Structure 1
Amino acid sequence: MTTARFDRRPYAGADDLRAMQHLAARLWSPGATWHVGDLAWERFQHTGREHEWPTMLWDAGDATAAWGWADSGHLGLAADPRHPALAGEVLGWFAATVPATAPGQVRSVTVSSTETHLFPALERHGYRRAGDGPFFLHMVMDLDDGLPAPRPPAGYRLRAVGDADVPRRAAAHRAAFHPSRVTEESYQAVRRAWPYRPDLDWIAEAPDGSAAAFCLVWLDEANRAARIEPAGTAPGHRGRGLARAVCLAALDAARRAGARRAVVSPRGDDAYPAPARLYRSLGFRECARSLGYRPA
């Protein structure tokens, strides 16, 4: 534990996102909530929502040591365990930003089962584990031993996304995750975000030229860790093994780019079991799960 002076400041743009990502990379483990790619995807997949997302950073010297991101009564956070007081400061800011009396708001916080350094602050601030509802698995696989060759069905082609593919790539996402708010504009913003790499953004192209399935992988070079976020298949093309094929192609590209491990976080509850089954079949194994907290 260290003693330091913390400077609190509101999020002000892309430089601050990089600071949040750098903290996520420093704290990363396979069971962590945040990977650098999660932050890029979550911040840019929708346009026009910055005013909905109060976000605060705490700096210790020239490094960000904690941050909190509020979205519709929910808090995402990261806090360096070397500074135990910071988790409480983030929770205090969240309580002031999203009052319990706000109409229609029920405060909630999600952390990973591996982020035990956050548990005491949550309990001190009156949060208790939510015993029901959806949750996410944190899954990991080793890429050092190679991957099976992807086998797309006849007529489909696996390839990386190019500039001309943005309209069909955004359309495929909306079809797979209806009613998604991803647009061509927002997907272009994702492509401009660090650390997006076009060679790690793959589609399964259908015989008619549309994007039938997709898998975007983000590479944290410091940890040599790849993250799938997102992957999906358009409804008219499901049941043909396309998700498996396109994920294997994207993961192999990440392995060749230097990744030694890959992580993904599908739903773990019984209401949405298919993605976890897919990732287990690829070789992912569970290493942690999300934990939801609400005020007692």
Structure 2
Amino acid sequence: MTTPSTADLPRVIDTVASWQRDGAPVQVHPGDLGWYQRFGAEALAGALREWARDGETVAVGFLDESELIRMAIAPEAGGDEGIAHHVADDFVEALGELLPPGRAIVEARFGTALQQVLTDRGWGADDPWTPLHRDLAQPVPPSTLRIEVVGPGLVQERVRVEVAAFPGSSFSVDRWRQMADGHAYRHAACLLGYDEQGVAVAATTVWSAGRDRPGVIEPLGVHGGHRGRGHGRAMTLAAAGQMRRMGCSSARVATPSSNTAAVATYQAAGFVTPGEVTDFCRP
């Protein structure tokens, strides 16, 4: 297991992008890494771990929160028991400096071997999440909001809506710029949605992993003072439409199942779910 440098970030992001597949369970996406880069390139590099075999990266771990490691595994390595045991051993030993004592969670939604190893070692189920996706082969209905792609002149507005949508958010103009300077943002776009009065009421960032691969919404929010008016559905349709124009094969998102309003919003915008999933919680 190794920790990449900031110079390695483009390679790691491109590798994770190459692993994205329609029909496979959701795993860490370049957009997840790109959104985290709002904290800076050094912070992102410090939150990543790589596992390699014969000089080729086969798994990437992403410390998305203080107690959560999210995994991405090469499609051809998903059933490899040797890799799974190696990764699981590192969770216990080498990652001790990252995961605090007590509660620790591993998001391993792809990779049957790692899932089985964690189960055999007593890792239990954490709270359920609902992954959703929308196929982008056909055109997406237009949004009822006026949509603008965020450039330098709209960054403050983008930040204002984000903070109003997510109380306690630490998003800022400087953090948007750090995100936008990142390698993953070359294949991304921030969108603002305006109502009939010309007020910015919703915002999102959408991320591509390359043409004919699934894209991801990370994040999407409606200003707290403008909810209950269908803006969430409208912004979700705008996000899906933007990803289709970017060449994505499908649009993906995941939300805690307890957030029933978010699940209903995505479903109202034509997203479907294969069912709930759970992460692994350390015994």
Alignment of 1:140-179 (within 5 A): 140-152=133-145, 157-179=146-168
- Find the counterpart in structure 1 of residue 202 from structure 2: 213
- Find the counterpart in structure 1 of residue 32 from structure 2: 38
- Find the counterpart in structure 1 of residue 49 from structure 2: 56
The answer to whether the Cα contact below 8 Å between 1:24 and 1:35 also exists between their aligned partners in 2 is yes
The answer to whether the Cα contact below 8 Å between 2:188 and 2:205 also exists between their aligned partners in 1 is no
**CA shift at 1:207, angstroms?**
7.2
- In the alignment, residue 200 of structure 1 is paired with which amino acid? A
Aligned match for 1:195, one of 184, 188, 210: 184
**CA shift at 1:284, angstroms?**
0.7
Aligned match for 1:274, one of 232, 252, 261: 261
Distance in 2, matches of 1:73 and 1:52, equals: 17
Mark the CA change 1:56 to 1:268 in structure 2 (over 3 Å): closer, same or farther.
same
Mark the CA change 1:243 to 1:49 in structure 2 (over 3 Å): closer, same or farther.
farther
Distance in 1, matches of 2:134 and 2:53, equals: 34
- Find the counterpart in structure 1 of residue 116 from structure 2: 120
**CA shift at 1:265, angstroms?**
0.9
Deviation digits for residues 13-44 of structure 1 (CA, Å, limit 9, x no counterpart): 25236425513532534522222212221x21
The answer to whether the Cα contact below 8 Å between 2:195 and 2:201 also exists between their aligned partners in 1 is yes
- Find the counterpart in structure 2 of residue 74 from structure 1: 68
Aligned match for 1:139, one of 122, 132, 135: 132
As a proportion of its length, which structure holds more helix? 2
Aligned match for 2:223, one of 205, 213, 234: 234
**CA shift at 1:51, angstroms?**
9.0
- In the alignment, residue 110 of structure 1 is paired with which amino acid? E
Query: What percentage of aligned pairs have identical amino acids?
Result: 25
Which has the higher Rg, Structure 1 or Structure 2? 1
| 2:281 counterpart SS class | strand
Distance in 2, matches of 1:62 and 1:103, equals: 30
The answer to whether the Cα contact below 8 Å between 2:29 and 2:216 also exists between their aligned partners in 1 is yes
Aligned match for 1:16, one of 4, 9, 19: 9
| 1:201 counterpart SS class | strand
- Find the counterpart in structure 2 of residue 295 from structure 1: 282
Distance in 2, matches of 1:175 and 1:232, equals: 9
5+ residue gaps, structure 1, are: 1-7
Count of aligned pairs: 277
Please give the root-mean-square deviation of Cα atoms over the aligned residues, in Å: 2.9
Distance in 2, matches of 1:103 and 1:268, equals: 25
Are residue 84 (structure 1) and residue 81 (structure 2) matched? yes
Deviation digits for residues 29-71 of structure 1 (CA, Å, limit 9, x no counterpart): 4522222212221x21335983995532122344311122334
Mark the CA change 1:199 to 1:36 in structure 2 (over 3 Å): closer, same or farther.
closer
The answer to whether the Cα contact below 8 Å between 1:35 and 1:227 also exists between their aligned partners in 2 is yes
| 2:255 counterpart SS class | coil
Deviation digits for residues 151-172 of structure 1 (CA, Å, limit 9, x no counterpart): 13xxxx3211111111221221
Mark the CA change 1:290 to 1:115 in structure 2 (over 3 Å): closer, same or farther.
farther
| 1:32 counterpart SS class | coil
Distance in 2, matches of 1:103 and 1:245, equals: 40
Distance in 2, matches of 1:276 and 1:138, equals: 9
**CA shift at 1:277, angstroms?**
0.4
Distance in 2, matches of 1:46 and 1:260, equals: 29
Deviation digits for residues 104-159 of structure 1 (CA, Å, limit 9, x no counterpart): 542221222x54232122124331224xx3x321111112221222113xxxx321
Distance in 1, matches of 2:72 and 2:139, equals: 32
| 2:169 counterpart SS class | coil
The answer to whether the Cα contact below 8 Å between 1:24 and 1:78 also exists between their aligned partners in 2 is no
Distance in 2, matches of 1:151 and 1:264, equals: 21
**CA shift at 1:280, angstroms?**
0.5
The answer to whether the Cα contact below 8 Å between 1:221 and 1:259 also exists between their aligned partners in 2 is yes
Mark the CA change 1:74 to 1:268 in structure 2 (over 3 Å): closer, same or farther.
same
- Find the counterpart in structure 2 of residue 110 from structure 1: 107
